[in-house]
Amino acid sequence: MPTLRRRLRAGPDREAALAQYRQRAGIYDLELALFEPLRERAIARLALQPGEVVLDVGCGTGLSLARLRQGTGAGGRVVGIEQSPEMLALARERVRQGHWRNVSLRCAPVEAARLAGQADAALFHFTHDILRRPEALDHVLHHLRPGARVVATGLKWAGAWTALANLLVLPAALHSVTSLEGLDRPWSRLAERLGPLEVETLWLDAVYIASGRVRGG
């Protein structure tokens, strides 16, 4: 696993991420339980409509799939992308148990995922490593229509006025990402591609929800 100094400076490490989530897959849902209100809030920001197509980027064990499917309805489609086979196996089981015929999953790094057409929305929930990889963002945005809604959420360094919150952010981030680069503004590379984002910070400035639209809509 990369040292703290390297994680502060270097970009995401795919092999380290695969090893990290291989170990976490079995307890991931429990670990993320505290953040479920944030997930609900982020998905609400997508303002999904029946019949739409939404990408769940870095879908993990599929915790967002049911809510995304509820938003798009039976006539819509949800596409989950996840590079960890162990995490995606649990997502597939969730889909199987739910009999969700309009949910499809891709086991691949985001930048290499096979996607067809252009979706109406994309969710990045606790996917810091993905948000810091330009090639991953470019691939996702290439498969979003003009005007598509994009929402990203996750941990961030708290500002000076709540700096003590970073005593909680640091161990949580070390447990879940391979790079701390950009953790002060995790959405910055997304903003470069979408234009101005609406950013809301919560929980003592330690988490964020950033939302915007693909240019041209």
- pLDDT digits 0-9 by tens, 28-42: 999 999 999 999 999
* Residue 163: predicted pLDDT: 86
**Cα–Cα distance measured from residue 17 to residue 10, given in angstroms and rounded to the nearest whole number:** 14
pLDDT at 160 over 80: yes
**112-132 pLDDT, tens digit each:** 999 999 999 999 999 999 999
For residues 176-199, give the mean pLDDT.
95
**4-55 pLDDT, tens digit each:** 555 655 789 999 999 999 999 999 999 999 999 999 999 999 999 999 999 9
**Cα–Cα distance measured from residue 170 to residue 213, given in angstroms and rounded to the nearest whole number:** 30
Confidence of residue 152 (pLDDT cuts 50, 70, 90): very high
Domain region containing 56: 4-213
Q: Cα dihedral angle (74, 77, 80, 85), rounded to 10 degrees? A: 70
**Cα–Cα distance measured from residue 128 to residue 130, given in angstroms and rounded to the nearest whole number:** 5
Task: Return the minimum-mean-pLDDT range out of 134-138, 146-150, 170-174.
Answer: 170-174
Looking at the 3D structure of the chain, how many domains does it have?
Answer: 1
Residue 185 structure tokens: 């503004």
**Cα–Cα distance measured from residue 161 to residue 59, given in angstroms and rounded to the nearest whole number:** 33
| Beta strands 198-202; 207-213: pairing state | antiparallel
pLDDT at 1 over 50: no
Of 61, 64, 59, 76, nearest to 119 by C-alpha is: 76
pLDDT at 138 over 90: yes
Amino acid at 139: H
Of 166, 156, 137, nearest to 200 by C-alpha is: 156
Between the alpha carbon of residue 49 and those of residues 11, 45, 54, 98, 160, the distances in Å are 35, 12, 10, 20, 39
**Cα–Cα distance measured from residue 157 to residue 105, given in angstroms and rounded to the nearest whole number:** 31
**CATH classification at residue 109:** 3.40.50.150
DSSP strands (E only) in the chain: 53-57, 77-82, 103-107, 119-125, 144-155, 198-202, 207-213
**164-187 pLDDT, tens digit each:** 999 999 999 999 999 999 999 999
pLDDT at 216 over 90: no
Neighbours of 133 (CB within 10 A): 20
Q: Are 65 and 103 in contact (CB under 8 A)?
A: yes
Question: pTM value?
Answer: 0.94
DSSP strands (E only) in 7-143: 53-57, 77-82, 103-107, 119-125
* Residue 141: predicted pLDDT: 98
